[in-house]
Chain A
Amino acid sequence: MTPAVRRFDVGVGLHGDHVGGERAAAKALLAGEVDAACMVDGNHLLFAQEGTLVAGATRVLAQTGSYDHCNMTALDPGRSHTAVDRFRRLLLGMDYGDPAVRPLLDLEGLKRWRDGRVSGYHLLEAAVDGSAFYDRKGALSAADYRP
């Protein structure tokens, strides 16, 4: 039997990752509406600390390897290489010791930006393909998606 996937789409794709969807998943888990919920490790801790999850009442079934939660992707870098390069240098130049940019890094949950990586996403890719979220051309194909 193929397990059914229930998505908790809260602000997905609008302003980056959003903790709200994972919190809704955790609540559904606690209410017995779902058998398991996906969330990042830090949110499992956060939900237990804030009381959304009862401490010790859940267990971690499986973990993926690490991958970067936020990537800046330029669609046609050849066309505006200078701008892309400047953007990259500006991001990498953000210093947590600088009080002017520290609040921005804090908002993003970062201490510094790192060079882009495309490794570590294979499980995520397989899951997205397996649930037919995008079609082969990369267009959204999930009919019930409400960002």
Chain B
Amino acid sequence: MEQGAHLLVDNALARLAPGDRLTVAGRDPHLAVHLAGWARARGHVLEADDGLVLVKGPAAGQRWQDSVRAGGPGADGVLARAPVSWGLAARGALVEAGGPSLAVDLTERDLVWTDVAPRLYAQAAASQWDPATAIAWNEPFELPPEIEGAVVQVMTYLIENEQAALDVPARFIGRVHPHYREVVQFLATQVADEARHVEVFTRRAALRRRELGTSGAGGRASLQTLLQETDFSLASLLLSVLGEGTFLSLLSFLERHAPDTVTRQVCRLALQDEARHVAYGQSHLEHRVAVDPSLRDRLRSAVERRHDALADTAGLQTEVLDALIVLAAGEWSPPGIARGFGLVRALQADMDEGRQRRLGRLGFPADEAAALSALHTRNFM
């Protein structure tokens, strides 16, 4: 018993019913002493008249009599509702009744789920990149001061936006029942993605200059409204579908028109990650709208509410919009600026078209999708 023999006894007892007898034999001189103490602690009775005979007690069965199997480990084992009494138990585990309840409120599948969540998580896990090696930080380049300044301003703007995109899923992770494991895992990769984006945009901003650009109060007011949305699906719409969806156009624009390799690389890598975030938010909302079409009314209200909240703010600061024009111009000359100006106008049209397309996939008619897209924040995210 001093070296694990209780496992052998337990294993033999497991096949018996309470009240059944098990004869135990062994050579250890302490066997009778130890078996008695062990059996008493587990509610078995040791009869030691003629050899050592254990009478199995009911405790083991009593412990598990109200236990519940918490779904199954695979995606096909996901249940429509997950009780908070399951706590942190693994999906698929046999959960003993009792214990503390988990303080989570997103306990229904449809509130967070999409069937592509397992696949998107797997993709995210396989696509993590190392900021230290994925970008050619030492690539030599020298930009005219105005162009470098524009890149720094755009990076400064991106950093605060990515910080918001990090905060929003991070706040929801602790609210999703761990039964919906793939959702939690995906959100965790989203947070890790945004952490890398904050890092690489900061590093590019500070690559040639000691000082970063400006942060406007209007832009920060817009981001603040994202943090204030406490409904998971509404936050998915505002952040992932509309905000990060708009950023797909922006990052793609920057990847195409940025004047140096480092900026193009950081934007390309961020773009790949953001596309996954948009895919998750979009597919989650398509799932929810399919099971509850009335959600569209709440989605519409969320866009309108955010627009009203931001009506008296500046939205995108002038410095950022101007920086995008200069960055796209790539040179400080009237024809260059004119070209950049045209490119940024085309970018805004592309952003609008993307938002309308995604809203259309959520079942909004074209005219309504156009109206809602027009209400989206001028800050892009």
Residues of chain A having any CB pair with chain B under 8 Å: 40-45, 48-49, 55-56, 59-60, 63, 95-97, 99-100, 102-103, 109, 111-112
Contacts of B58 in A (CB 8 A): 96, 111
Q: Are B97 and A96 in contact (CB under 8 A)?
A: no
Q: Are A99 and B97 in contact (CB under 8 A)?
A: yes
CB < 8 Å neighbour of A102 from B1, B28, B40, B63:
B63
Contacts of B33 in A (CB 8 A): 41, 44-45, 60, 63
B85's closest neighbor in chain A, by CB?
A99
Q: Are A55 and B3 in contact (CB under 8 A)?
A: yes
Contacts of B99 in A (CB 8 A): 99
A55's closest neighbor in chain B, by CB?
B2
Extra pairs beyond A41-B34, A45-B34, A97-B65 (11, CB < 8 Å): A42-B34, A44-B34, A45-B33, A48-B2, A49-B1, A56-B2, A60-B33, A99-B97, A102-B63, A111-B42, A111-B58
Query: Looking at chain B's contact residues, is the secondary structure mostly helix, strand, loop, or mixed?
Result: loop
Q: Does B228 contact A (CB under 8 A)?
A: no
CB contact under 8 A between A99 and B29, given known A48-B2, A109-B41: no
List 13 A-B pairs, Cβ < 8 Å.
Answer: A41-B33, A44-B33, A45-B1, A45-B34, A45-B37, A55-B3, A59-B30, A60-B29, A95-B62, A96-B58, A96-B59, A102-B62, A102-B63
CB < 8 Å neighbour of A111 from B29, B37, B57:
B57
CB < 8 Å neighbour of B37 from A43, A56, A102:
A43
CB distance from B117 to the nearest CB of A (A): 32
The distance in angstroms between the C-alpha atoms of A109 and B38, with both chains bound, is 11
Q: Does B36 contact A (CB under 8 A)?
A: yes
B4's closest neighbor in chain A, by CB?
A49
Q: Are B41 and A42 in contact (CB under 8 A)?
A: yes
CB distance from B74 to the nearest CB of A (A): 28
The distance in angstroms between the C-alpha atoms of A109 and B42, with both chains bound, is 8
Q: Which B residues between 33 and 85 are near A, CB-CB below 8 angstroms? A: 33-34, 36-38, 40-43, 57-59, 62-63, 65-66
Q: Are A99 and B2 in contact (CB under 8 A)?
A: no
Chain B interface residue bracket vs A: 20 to 34
What's the A-B contact tally at a CB cutoff of 8 Å? 63
Q: Are A40 and B2 in contact (CB under 8 A)?
A: no
Q: Does B98 contact A (CB under 8 A)?
A: yes
The distance in angstroms between the C-alpha atoms of A102 and B37, with both chains bound, is 20
Contacts of A96 in B (CB 8 A): 43, 58-59, 62-63
Q: Does B322 contact A (CB under 8 A)?
A: no
CB < 8 Å neighbour of A99 from B1, B3, B30, B66:
B66
The distance in angstroms between the C-alpha atoms of A79 and B53, with both chains bound, is 45
Nearest 9 Cβ contacts at the A-B interface? A99-B98, A42-B37, A111-B43, A41-B37, A97-B62, A99-B97, A48-B2, A55-B2, A45-B34
Q: Are B30 and A60 in contact (CB under 8 A)?
A: yes
Most buried by B among A40, A41, A43: A41
Q: Are B2 and A42 in contact (CB under 8 A)?
A: no
CB contact under 8 A between A102 and B2, given known A43-B37, A60-B33: no
CB distance from B83 to the nearest CB of A (A): 13
Q: Are B65 and A102 in contact (CB under 8 A)?
A: no
Q: Does B229 contact A (CB under 8 A)?
A: no
The distance in angstroms between the C-alpha atoms of A109 and B59, with both chains bound, is 12
Q: Are B2 and A49 in contact (CB under 8 A)?
A: yes
Contacts of A43 in B (CB 8 A): 37
Q: Which B residues between 65 and 120 are near A, CB-CB below 8 angstroms? A: 65-66, 96-99
Q: Are B37 and A40 in contact (CB under 8 A)?
A: yes
Contacts of B28 in A (CB 8 A): 56
Q: Are B98 and A100 in contact (CB under 8 A)?
A: yes
Contacts of B59 in A (CB 8 A): 96, 111
The distance in angstroms between the C-alpha atoms of A41 and B57, with both chains bound, is 19
Contacts of B29 in A (CB 8 A): 59-60
Contacts of B62 in A (CB 8 A): 95-97, 102, 111
The distance in angstroms between the C-alpha atoms of A107 and B58, with both chains bound, is 18
CB distance from A12 to the nearest CB of B (A): 20
CB < 8 Å neighbour of B66 from A48, A97, A103:
A97
Most buried by A among B3, B33, B43: B33
CB distance from A69 to the nearest CB of B (A): 9
Contacts of B97 in A (CB 8 A): 99
The distance in angstroms between the C-alpha atoms of A112 and B57, with both chains bound, is 11
B44's closest neighbor in chain A, by CB?
A111
The distance in angstroms between the C-alpha atoms of A6 and B37, with both chains bound, is 24
The distance in angstroms between the C-alpha atoms of A11 and B220, with both chains bound, is 59
